[in-house]
Amino acid sequence: MSATIPFSSPKPAHDAVVVLHGLFASTRSMEKVCRRLSDVGYRAINWGYPTLCSSVETTARRLQDTLHALQQDTTVRTINFLTHSMGGIIARQLIQHGSIDKIRRMVMLAPPNAGSHLTRVSLGPFRGILPAIEQIRETTDSFVNQLNDLRGVEVGVIAAARDFIVRVENTRLAEQRDHRVIPCTHFGLPKCDTAIGLSLDFLKHGGFERPQESAKPEFALSDNAIPRAA
């Protein structure tokens, strides 16, 4: 008597979004955006890291293991990023030194791509336990200003108009595809409905504006087709 092999349908493919919080924050600050990502069908990975005593390079190396697992997962079509503040710099470091070919798009909320003006304040005795702060100085030779371009990754940047941590002009990236400034604060961005909505649009369409469907009239009349009075 032959055995019956139960039918097992393949797992549906999906797009993953790695979510990274900023300095002096935790995964809790990104819970709202993760819920929204899950609601629209993304696999959201809310990845946490210690923001003290850890450099950008060290954190990026830790994140590499997660990226490799997603790369090997046959149910993952694409890998994307949604980052806040320092999380964006960690993602940039990882992308430029990694070999993950599934990475497609990244939305950066208030990223210090050209540094933060708050680093002008001396850290004094705390300099040793805040290496990441040293790395986002505004000087041209700082770590963040020496990072390479993100070739092959579509990047969208959202800045906060009332940001006292990262100036709007410092959020810009040479290779960005789109940039928006919204009335919000630095720490309010991850919870801002406008920022979340724009982020979802970019992840789906590669831009902050949804493509408009051309309206087709049911019929069109030329001048010759219009009946004229006798």
| Segment 37-86, tens digit of pLDDT | 999 999 999 999 988 788 999 999 999 999 999 999 999 999 999 999 99
| Domain membership flag for residue 5 | no
Residue in the block written with tokens 């979510």: 19
**Per-residue pLDDT, 10:** 53
| Domain membership flag for residue 170 | yes
Query: Which residues face 186 on adjacent strands?
Result: none
**Per-residue pLDDT, 121:** 66
Distance CA 166, CA 186 (A): 8
| Domain membership flag for residue 73 | yes
Q: Domain containing 158: what range?
A: 14-211
How far, in Å, are 21, 218, 225 from residue 30 at the CA level?
6, 46, 59
> How many separate domains does the chain show?
1
Q: How far is CA 20 from the centre of its chain?
A: 8
Q: For the domain that residue 196 is a member of, what is the CATH number?
A: 3.40.50.1820
Residue 82 near residue 37, CB atoms below 8 Å: yes
How far, in Å, are 116, 131, 159, 175 from residue 138 at the CA level?
6, 15, 17, 19
**Per-residue pLDDT, 97:** 80
**Per-residue pLDDT, 212:** 55
Distance CA 109, CA 38 (A): 19
When pLDDT is cut at 50, 70 and 90, the band that residue 127 belongs to is low
Query: Could you write out the three-class secondary structure of 61-100?
Result: HHHHHHHHHHHHCCCEEEEEEEEECHHHHHHHHHHHHCCC
Above pLDDT 90, what percent of the chain? 67
Q: Which three-class secondary structure state does DSSP give residue 184? A: strand
* pLDDT reading at 217 higher than 50: no
| Domain membership flag for residue 188 | yes
For residue 66, which amino acid is it? T
When pLDDT is cut at 50, 70 and 90, the band that residue 204 belongs to is very high
Residue 211 near residue 205, CB atoms below 8 Å: yes
| Domain membership flag for residue 220 | no
| Domain membership flag for residue 137 | yes
| Domain membership flag for residue 229 | no
pTM (2 d.p.):
0.84
pLDDT (average), residues 9-22: 84
| Domain membership flag for residue 98 | yes
Residue 120 near residue 146, CB atoms below 8 Å: no
